Structure 1
Amino acid sequence: MKTALSTTTKTHSVASVVEDFKQITKAGLAVSVVFSSLAGYLLGAETIDFKILGLLALGGYFMVGASNAYNQIIERDLDALMTRTKNRPIPAGRMSVNTAFIIATLFTILGIITLYTVNPKTAMFGAISIFLYTSVYTPLKTKTPLSVFAGAFPGAIPFMLGWVAATNDFGIEPGTLFMIQFFWQFPHFWAIGWVLDDDYKKGGFHMLPTGKKDKATALQIIMYTIWMILISVFPVSGLTGRLQLSVVAAIIVFLLGLGMLLFAFKLYNKRDNKSARNLMLASVSYITLMQIVYVIDKFL
């Protein structure tokens, strides 16, 4: 009886540790970031090297995990104030700051080494991403709504990073991929900021551009969504080097963007949390499906 109870307790303890590890590194977010990187690699690669693909995925996870762990260390006191984050490992007391710091530092080192194995430029952009996220975006969140602008830079790197990993070069092609994901960040994060506005205020975070859930914020969401759509279909022009998009694929991407834009207009008209939540979900669907369309279009 005691042995069975002891085994159950150990199993529960291991599961708890694994869950805390997933939370401190934000495993779900890391997977979506890695997906973007892999899509960028497939677009840039002339021949697919599965070893490089694996290293990119692993290195990308390390870098995102490091950024998120540093972020949760810095914001631990503020996280304790918000309903959404108070049960994270550090504010809940399940993980010490030292443990989190060891994880973050280890992930940073392993990430840079792994990405350097791919090529030096990939490691450089990965390191820049961690620096911007932890040293610029995170401190600004409690000071100015411009934090979203600062955060859009590291947030836009993954899609571009894959191309750089495939080519060891930065030019118009990865620049275009960067700009697509850069402009996508604004409607996506402002929709999240809208839904969680009350909770964010408990932590002193300024996420909405006007500081309010008003028409001016919704209008900016619409404008950035339009820019995102225009840049997403721009490769059909043939002006973006090896990054090309067929007319059919461009129409599909345009329609996907139009769907997201409709949700943005609904938010402008209703200005409620349900509309913002729908826009947030639409934005996640858009970025994933758009990247899939790009990759499929290349190989068809």
Structure 2
Amino acid sequence: MNSTVVSETKVPVNTILSDLKQLTKVGLSLSVVFSSVAGYLLAVDVINYTILFLLAIGGFFMVGASNAFNQIIERDTDAIMKRTMNRPLPTGRMSVNFAMFIAVLFTVLGLSILYSINPKTALFGAVSIFLYTCAYTPLKSVTPLTVFVGAIPGAIPFMLGWVAATGKFGIEAGFLFMIQFFWQFPHFWAIGWLQFEEYKKAGFSMLPMNTKDKKAVKQIILYTVIMIAVSIAPVLKVTGDFYIYPLTAVLVGFLGLIMLYYAIQLHKTEHNIEARKLMLASVLYITVVQVVYVVDKFLH
């Protein structure tokens, strides 16, 4: 009788794997790895596949750890929102202790692997985990400035690749950081617009001034313009070893204008459908721009 009860309460392996994927947000972690790899490729003339592999694995663990800590802290508010209520912690499918074990394990593995590349890479990895967990996550319920704080760890991966390749943080890494930093405002505010009511239920302030109106969209437009300017600046050869061809700058500018178009449409209509288009355009932008930069680099 007891053995039947025990076998019935066993959690299937695929459920555990699925929950681990949700806890560490594998999709997001892979997009961060993509950014890091792009940053690395921009910095090197000869690819060291060992370092590239270590960067990808270390970066994956780093982001997985941040996401796990985030979900431990937000397990009560996650239970309130439709988008997050089925995560492993709010549903009770996973214990907080097990999630904490995974978060700590991923932190140790991630930072150790990044340290094996060079100490600076590990330092930026540690800063990223710390800011995401100890500043961005708690501030979500306090101030809309949380997006500004969250944009710092969010912008680290692109330049992390450059630091992994060169062992130093100079103007090139600084520009890679700024491109991804300014990109995050239109991206996250578009999500904040779409999820405004859900975030409100959880007590999160994710839009500028915490208002869903034209004032918020003016901020989105402003940051999109800054993002475009920073993204095409390398064509002026003011960014050290990181520069792009004029044709590349035109292509990057065009991609930025697509985002700007949807931001202006959102200002006109204030409809969720435009916010969704802006959010999708922002994902397309950051992905394609990083690929375009790398292709440009290998054409030099």
Provide TM-score, normalisation by structure 1.
Answer: 0.96
Match of 1:22 in 2: 21
1:178-218 Cα deviation digits (max 9, x unpaired): 00000001000000000001111111100000212100000
Task: Tell me how far apart the structure 2 counterparts of residues 210 and 269 of structure 1 sit (CA, whole Å).
Answer: 19
Task: Tell me how far apart the structure 1 counterparts of residues 156 and 287 of structure 2 sit (CA, whole Å).
Answer: 15
Where does the alignment leave 5 or more consecutive residues of structure 1 unmatched?
1-6
1:2-25 Cα deviation digits (max 9, x unpaired): xxxxx9x98x81111110000000
Match of 1:156 in 2: 155
Query: Which amino acid in 2 is paired with 1:23?
Result: Q
Match of 2:181 in 1: 182
The percentage of aligned residue pairs carrying the same residue is 63
Match of 2:273 in 1: 274
The farther-off stretch of 210-219 and 135-144 is 210-219
Match of 2:214 in 1: 215
Say yes or no: does 1:260 pair with 2:263: no
Deviation at residue 289 of structure 1 after TM alignment: 0.4
Query: Which amino acid in 2 is paired with 1:120?
Result: P
Within 5 Å, give how 1:104-123 maps onto structure 2: 104-123=103-122
Where does the alignment leave 5 or more consecutive residues of structure 2 unmatched?
1-6
- Counterpart secondary structure, 2:199: helix
Aligned residues: 292
Match of 2:54 in 1: 55
1:102-123 Cα deviation digits (max 9, x unpaired): 0000000000100001111000
Task: Tell me how far apart the structure 1 counterparts of residues 17 and 277 of structure 2 sit (CA, whole Å).
Answer: 31
Task: Tell me how far apart the structure 1 counterparts of residues 120 and 140 of structure 2 sit (CA, whole Å).
Answer: 29
Task: Tell me how far apart the structure 2 counterparts of residues 122 and 257 of structure 1 sit (CA, whole Å).
Answer: 29
Provide TM-score, normalisation by structure 2.
Answer: 0.96
Within 5 Å, give how 1:1-300 maps onto structure 2: 13-300=12-299
- Counterpart secondary structure, 1:198: helix
Task: Tell me how far apart the structure 2 counterparts of residues 16 and 197 of structure 1 sit (CA, whole Å).
Answer: 30
Deviation at residue 47 of structure 1 after TM alignment: 1.1
Query: Which amino acid in 2 is paired with 1:265?
Result: I
Query: Which amino acid in 1 is paired with 2:99?
Result: A
Query: Which amino acid in 2 is paired with 1:229?
Result: I
Task: Tell me how far apart the structure 2 counterparts of residues 210 and 116 of structure 1 sit (CA, whole Å).
Answer: 39
Deviation at residue 46 of structure 1 after TM alignment: 2.2
Task: Tell me how far apart the structure 2 counterparts of residues 89 and 45 of structure 1 sit (CA, whole Å).
Answer: 40
Task: Tell me how far apart the structure 1 counterparts of residues 238 and 83 of structure 2 sit (CA, whole Å).
Answer: 44
Q: CA RMSD in A?
A: 1.2
1:140-189 Cα deviation digits (max 9, x unpaired): 00000000000000000000000000000100000000000000010000
1:48-97 Cα deviation digits (max 9, x unpaired): 00110000000000000000000000011111111111100000110000
Task: Tell me how far apart the structure 2 counterparts of residues 43 and 211 of structure 1 sit (CA, whole Å).
Answer: 37
Query: Which amino acid in 1 is paired with 2:97?
Result: N
